[in-house]
Amino acid sequence: MATFTLLVLVCVAYVVLLFGVAFAADRAARRGRGAWLRSPLVYTLSLSIYCTAWTFYGAVGFAARSGLEYVTIYLGPTLVMIGWWWTLRKMVRVGRSQRITSVADMISSRYGKSNTLAVCVTILAVIGATPYIALQLQSVTLSFAAFTPAGPSLQARSEQSIAIYVALGLTLFTILFGTRNLDANERHHGVVIAIALEAVVKLFALLAVGVFVVWGLEGGIAQTLARIDASPIAEFTVTPSRWTALTLLSATAFLCLPRMFQVMVVENEDESHLRTAAWAFPLYLMLISLFVVPIAAVGLDLMPAGTNPDLFVLKLPLLAGQDGLAILSFLGGFSSATSMVIVAAIALSTMVSNHIVMPIWLRATGGAAMMSGDVRHVALLARRLSIGAVVFLGYLYFRMSGGGTALAAIGLIAFAGVAQFLPALMGGLVWRGATRLGALAGLSVGFAFWLYCLLLPSFGAGVILPVRVMEAGLFGQSWLRPYAMFWTGGMDPLVHAVMWSMLLNCAAFCAVSLFTFPRPVERLQGAQFVNVFDHSQRPGSWTGGLGQSEDLLIMSQRILGAAEAQELFARAARRQGLSGYLPEPSPEFLEFLERRLSGSVGAATAHAMVSQIVGRATVSVEDLLAVADETAQIMEYSNRLEAKSTEQARTARQLRVVNEKLTQLSVQKDGFLSQVSHELRTPMTSIRAFSEILLGGDLTPEQLQKYASIIHAESLRLTRLLDDLLDLSVLESGQVVLNVQSGTLAQVLDRAISGAVGGAAGSLNIRRDAASEAVLLQTDIDRLAQVFINLIANARKYCDAAHPVLDIRAERDSTTLTVDFVDNGTGIPIEDEALIFEKFSRLGETRAPGAGLGLAICREIMHRLGGSVAYLPGQGGAAFRVTLPLAPLEPGGGNDLVTKGGLRSVR
């Protein structure tokens, strides 16, 4: 019997061989030699990573457990290769023309380069692939264990260490050959050749075992058939629902598995290889599945009960003492496992680093590193670490799940997971109306159901999902039981999960797509994907139908704006005599459009854009998008500039207003000073003139008397003016302390009248109403009297009636007292009414009646007392109304400035 050491040696030797082949192939490819590397056969063989260790070992186990069901795993891909050849070609064409690097890239690219979508797909792909990688590690360790009849403890320990070594070795190999070139789109010749070699090894190994079993152990086809008929396999009945589900699942997985996408689309050298693969790959599948049933039947018969049927491929040769064949078979399984892990790790690491690590890193460094060469190193490091992480995750799952589950079950769970990509992927290829949000919705819903109905329960009740949830449903809702959603109990868990997840995935994808509107870049990408053949198959032709016109319209809308572009196209269509809004892309129209676009983006760009869309492609779609985005940015920039200049204009306007105010204040100040000067100089003039006259002597006593009294009066006028100025300045600055006393209105008026007219009223007849004056006031009586004095004195001075009369009328309501002073003169001209309360209300070189500071002081005082004084127009003569609140004034000052500003003056 082959020893453990021998097996390890064989493995190492095999891996060294793979290294050698991969290395040689890489070197040949770099030197431009090795046309055989790019043969359709190599491509077909590389597709065989579909057949992993699961297929190699698991298919036999599958057949032994469930009969012919295993065929579905091969049926799906066969149907796809033959029946969906056209779709595959479309995928490959799109992948090449868009420089797609992974299935995540494909989906995100289709839906407007949405990184959100790419991140989702990546995460889901990693989750889906983890059990699958675990499966490979498990199969390798199982196969080692099959050779070692040691005690259970030793076995367990060596199993773990084997898994670790295998994981490490695979990581190393993948890093060495998978991350040589940064450009993920560049082919990994070394890896592909190594995989092709592994495909040959596993096929040869399985065929050899099969031949040995049929002719070596059974003695011919007839005996084998008889054995099969007698075995339990013949008694398994086919469940139609499971068959349909499994065939569908394997077909879907064949299209969606990241590693399949890698070899089928990314590593594809030439579209025409698909033609060969279309018949060669089904043939390969047929060959590899040819001896599954015989091996299973014979194994069930010969092997002791309880033997893991997954290991019949190994155990049967061992049982027969064919150590060489057993080792070959072991190598076949080893090949299957390693090739799958390598390609899966490359595919997943590309996705992880491109869509998760790099965006985060670029954002963190603010894109500064784009300038230097750092980005290359970081990308490589990211990819290498991702490879390690992906394989490690698989190892972790292997350790957690304990390796007890049947291989086929794990594989199907993973299939169902990646199958969720299908609606977004295929829908995006055939339906232009599919939107990013639709894809996101479908994926999320599908994966949620897959997770809840299949993956989480697969760990067993109570491991992740509590037993209670498994039996009674989430939140105790029976329709939320993982194996019986919406009361669909009694179904096979796999069929149940696939049905619900795919059904709801498709429904969400379609519904959301229908109800959302694609962004321009999505529409453009959608057109590129769906019409990939139209675009690339008409070189040199300017006529391309309305599909191209629509693309042209999309492009034009981004540059000219939606309304203008639509108008332009509709007009062109009318000129061509067409009824719709899209014109034929005739040479005349294209030239016209180019000219129109060149006004916005320049002639070269416009030509490049139009050429691209109508099929004279010399520019990549990315370049085109970049140009269009630049235009959008320029427009946005100019919009921002415009906004900025509007802002500046607003600021300037505000500044102008403030400046005007300041200028006005300055003019007012100058005017005030000029007025003060005038008011001071006028009495001074009289005083000086008469002083000099007096000094000159030679005057009569009457003259002496008269001129001395003039000097005296003008001195008093001067003093009054200075008093008023000081009073006003104190009032205006708010530094006034009010002296609150109580008194009746009658008392205040009495004081005011005697102050204003002296002992006798002279010619002015003052009429009062004693009854209305019996109001008790709590205010600064002195200041109020000062206001009244001013008003009465004005009436006395300026009332020009023959018999001047001043009516003083008081009125009160619950809160306020009003006192009106109305004389019977001609009053104040309307144009001056607004000015009389201004200081020296004389504007320009003319003088208004009542000029001086009196009314300005009155206004200030009333303001301090909490009331007001106003001119009442239309009362016959001059009429002033004083308004005062009846509430007692706060002692010390009723004005806001004093209390708020804390500017209480100290006298």
Partner 1 sequence: MGSQVLLIEDEPNIIEAITFILSRDGWQVRSHSGGHDAMEVVRARRPDLIILDVMLPGRSGFDLLADIRGDADLAQTPVLMLTARGQRKDREMAERSGASMFMTKPFSNAEMLEAVRSLAARK
Q: Closer to partner 1 at the Cβ: 183 or 692? A: 692
3-class DSSP string for 241-287: HHHHHHHHHHHHHHHHCHHHHHHHHHCCCCCCHHHHHHHHHHHHHHH
Binding residue (CB under 8 A) for partner 1 from 358, 491, 693, 805 = 693
Distance of CA 340 to the CA centre of its chain: 36
Question: Strand, helix or coil at 779?
Answer: strand
Q: Closer to partner 1 at the Cβ: 273 or 842? A: 842
Distance in Å, CB of 703 to partner 1, minimum = 8
d(C-alpha 274, C-alpha 89), whole Å: 7
Contact pattern for partner 1 over residues 759 through 788, marking x by CB under 8 A:
------------------------------
R_g (Cα) of the chain, nearest Å = 50
Distance in Å, CB of 687 to partner 1, minimum = 7
Q: Closer to partner 1 at the Cβ: 181 or 686? A: 686
- In this structure, the number of other CB atoms found within 10 A of the CB of residue 127 comes to 18
Cα angle value 52/271/259 (rounded, 5°): 25
Pairing of strands 765-768, 805-812: parallel
d(C-alpha 893, C-alpha 886), whole Å: 15
Q: Closer to partner 1 at the Cβ: 658 or 713? A: 713
Q: Closer to partner 1 at the Cβ: 617 or 699? A: 699
Distance in Å, CB of 840 to partner 1, minimum = 11
Distance of CA 869 to the CA centre of its chain: 63
Q: Closer to partner 1 at the Cβ: 751 or 842? A: 842
Binding residue (CB under 8 A) for partner 1 from 688, 726, 767, 811 = 688
Distance in Å, CB of 674 to partner 1, minimum = 5
The CA distances from residue 313 to 229, 328, 514, in Å, are: 20, 10, 51
Sheet holding 868-871, edge to edge: 765-768, 805-812, 816-823, 879-885, 868-871
Residue numbers 454-483 binding partner 1 by CB under 8 A:
none
Binding residue (CB under 8 A) for partner 1 from 157, 681, 712, 767 = 681
Q: Closer to partner 1 at the Cβ: 438 or 683? A: 683
d(C-alpha 294, C-alpha 218), whole Å: 10
Distance in Å, CB of 795 to partner 1, minimum = 19
Q: Closer to partner 1 at the Cβ: 377 or 847? A: 847
Strand partners, 480: 485
Determine if 689 is a binding residue for partner 1 (CB under 8 A): yes
d(C-alpha 244, C-alpha 251), whole Å: 11
Binding residue (CB under 8 A) for partner 1 from 682, 735, 765, 868 = 682
Contact pattern for partner 1 over residues 604 through 633, marking x by CB under 8 A:
------------------------------
Comparing CA positions, the residue from 57, 83, 84 lying closest to residue 70 is 57
Binding residue (CB under 8 A) for partner 1 from 645, 674, 733, 905 = 674
Q: Which stretch binds partner 1 (CB under 8 A): 156-164, 247-255, 674-682, 891-899?
A: 674-682
Burial class (CB in 10 A: 0-12, 13-18, 19+), 40: middle
d(C-alpha 286, C-alpha 290), whole Å: 6
Distance in Å, CB of 841 to partner 1, minimum = 13
Distance in Å, CB of 764 to partner 1, minimum = 21
Q: Closer to partner 1 at the Cβ: 714 or 773? A: 714
Determine if 677 is a binding residue for partner 1 (CB under 8 A): yes
Binding residue (CB under 8 A) for partner 1 from 253, 495, 687, 898 = 687
Q: Which stretch binds partner 1 (CB under 8 A): 215-223, 268-276, 659-667, 687-695?
A: 687-695
Distance in Å, CB of 688 to partner 1, minimum = 4
Q: Which stretch binds partner 1 (CB under 8 A): 384-392, 601-609, 688-696, 892-900?
A: 688-696
Q: Which stretch binds partner 1 (CB under 8 A): 87-95, 283-291, 402-410, 671-679?
A: 671-679
Q: Which helix (H) or strand (E) holds 808?
A: strand 805-812
DSSP of 345-381, one letter per residue?
HHHHHHHHIIIIIHHHHHHHTTTGGGSSTHHHHHHHH
Distance in Å, CB of 714 to partner 1, minimum = 6
Distance in Å, CB of 664 to partner 1, minimum = 18
Binding residue (CB under 8 A) for partner 1 from 690, 788, 837, 880 = 690
Residue numbers 702-741 binding partner 1 by CB under 8 A:
710, 713-714
Residues in contact with partner 1, counted by CB under 8 A, come to a total of 26
Give every CB contact of residue 551 below 8 A, 6+ residues apart in sequence: 524, 527, 531, 613
Cα angle value 65/69/70 (rounded, 5°): 85
Q: Closer to partner 1 at the Cβ: 653 or 688? A: 688
Contact pattern for partner 1 over residues 804 through 833, marking x by CB under 8 A:
------------------------------
Binding residue (CB under 8 A) for partner 1 from 678, 705, 729, 888 = 678
Q: Closer to partner 1 at the Cβ: 237 or 700? A: 700
Give every CB contact of residue 618 below 8 A, 6+ residues apart in sequence: 608, 611, 612
Do 841 and 903 contact (CB within 8 A), yes or no?
A: no
Determine if 244 is a binding residue for partner 1 (CB under 8 A): no
d(C-alpha 766, C-alpha 771), whole Å: 16
Binding residue (CB under 8 A) for partner 1 from 692, 702, 813, 831 = 692
Give every CB contact of residue 800 below 8 A, 6+ residues apart in sequence: 825, 826
Distance in Å, CB of 848 to partner 1, minimum = 8
d(C-alpha 424, C-alpha 526), whole Å: 12
Residue numbers 836-855 binding partner 1 by CB under 8 A:
842, 844-847, 849
Q: Closer to partner 1 at the Cβ: 308 or 682? A: 682
DSSP letter assigned to residue 181: S
Strand partners, 812: 817
Distance in Å, CB of 849 to partner 1, minimum = 8
What count of Cα atoms within 13 Å lies in the side-chain half-sphere of residue 583?
23
Q: Which stretch binds partner 1 (CB under 8 A): 147-155, 353-361, 692-700, 778-786?
A: 692-700
Distance in Å, CB of 765 to partner 1, minimum = 26
Handedness of CA 306, 309, 310, 316 (dihedral sign): positive
Residues near partner 1 (CB under 8 A):
674-675, 677-679, 681-682, 684-690, 692-693, 696, 710, 713-714, 842, 844-847, 849
